[in-house]
Amino acid sequence: MSLHDKARLIGERAGRTQRLCARVAGFLFLWLILTGLAGSLTTSHIVGSGTFAETARRVAASEHLYRLALCSELIETLSVVLLAFALYITLKPVDKLLAQTAMYWRLGESFIGGVGMIFGFVRLRLYTSPQSIAALGADQSQALVGLTRQAGVAEYNISAIFFSIGSILFFYLFFKSRYIPGSWRHSVSLPRSW
Amino acid sequence: MVTIVCFGSLIFPEHAATLQYGWAPMAIAEVATAIWLMVFAVKNPSLW
């Protein structure tokens, strides 16, 4: 086999890996939306509204479903690592350094999201543990739940900032590449005079 | 847009609910990219 044939084979194999990663990334985009929405909608449906005692009763009655929903959100957070890597492999040929930077931002999103999940499980414990409620009382337990909720909101926004910067870079690479159909690219690009 | 929305939510938490509408363009972009990647993958040997 000549050197040219070997180079062509390596190129074809790399192209196959890139196409596979692109399809995996596409699937993961939707998978993240589904698992994230399923988890957050289920937990908010269980929590509902009302006093701390009413909410704690509802959460305790559906504890396993609540845990399942939290795990669904955790799976979403973990899947971000796979998505970041799949997008990196897909866009590496366009600009390796920028693709790497974008991947790091998305990894940051995943790690901060993981910390947020800890707050979720702590909140569950506050709702369901009779010892905690007996020791702290309803008022203090409610205050602690509020505190973990505020921490969760801050975590969500900080994680989303990492997500947005990573996404801007990845979308810029898609735009810069010739992967996007030409007609669409030209319709959204600015005129040269700008 | 999402970056602005998130910084806005951190600085003005009282407007967080309104600011959440800023996620809409990102949601559309993500779903469109997902479908496009799954259907067409990438076909650009010229970059190699």
pLDDT score for A181: 63
Q: B3, A29: Cβ pair inside 8 Å? A: no
pTM here is 0.82
Render pLDDT for A132-156 as a digit per residue (tens, 0 to 9): 777 777 788 888 888 988 898 899 9
8 A C-beta contact, residue A152 and residue A120: yes
How many contacts, defined by CB atoms under 8 Å, are there between A and B?
86
The mean pLDDT value of chain A amounts to: 85
> What is the spatial distance between Cα A36 and Cα A113, in angstroms, rounded to a whole number?
11
B48 reaches A (C-beta below 8 A): yes
Give the residue, A5 or A125, on which the prediction is more confident.
Answer: A125
pLDDT score for B20: 81
pLDDT score for A189: 44
Q: A22, B27: Cβ pair inside 8 Å? A: no
- Place A83 in a pLDDT band, splitting at 50, 70 and 90: very high
Nearest CA in chain A to B25: A164
Give the residue from A169, A179, A180, A184 with the most B CB atoms within 10 Å of its CB, the best one to mutate.
A179
pLDDT score for A188: 43
How deeply is A99 buried, as exposed, middle or buried, from its count of CB atoms within 10 A (0-12, 13-18, 19+)? buried
8 A C-beta contact, residue A138 and residue A52: yes
8 A C-beta contact, residue A66 and residue A46: yes
pLDDT score for B26: 86
Asked if pLDDT for residue B47 goes beyond 80, the answer is no
pLDDT score for A106: 95
Q: Find the mean pLDDT for residues B10-23.
A: 83
Render pLDDT for A10-19 as a digit per residue (tens, 0 to 9): 777 777 888 8
- Place A167 in a pLDDT band, splitting at 50, 70 and 90: very high
> Which residues in chain A touch residue B33, judged by CB atoms under 8 angstroms apart?
26, 29, 171, 174
Question: Chain A: nearest CA to B12, how far in angstroms?
Answer: 12
> Which residues in chain A touch residue B3, judged by CB atoms under 8 angstroms apart?
161, 164-165, 168
Domain ranges of chain B: 2-47
How large is the ipTM?
0.82
Query: Running DSSP on this structure, what letter comes out for residue B46?
Result: G
Q: Which residue has the tokens 């938490």?
A: B13
CA dihedral B9, A48, A74, A77 (to 10 degrees): -30
Question: Chain B: nearest CA to A49, how far in angstroms?
Answer: 17
> What is the spatial distance between Cα A165 and Cα B8, in angstroms, rounded to a whole number?
15
Domain ranges of chain A: 18-30+51-176
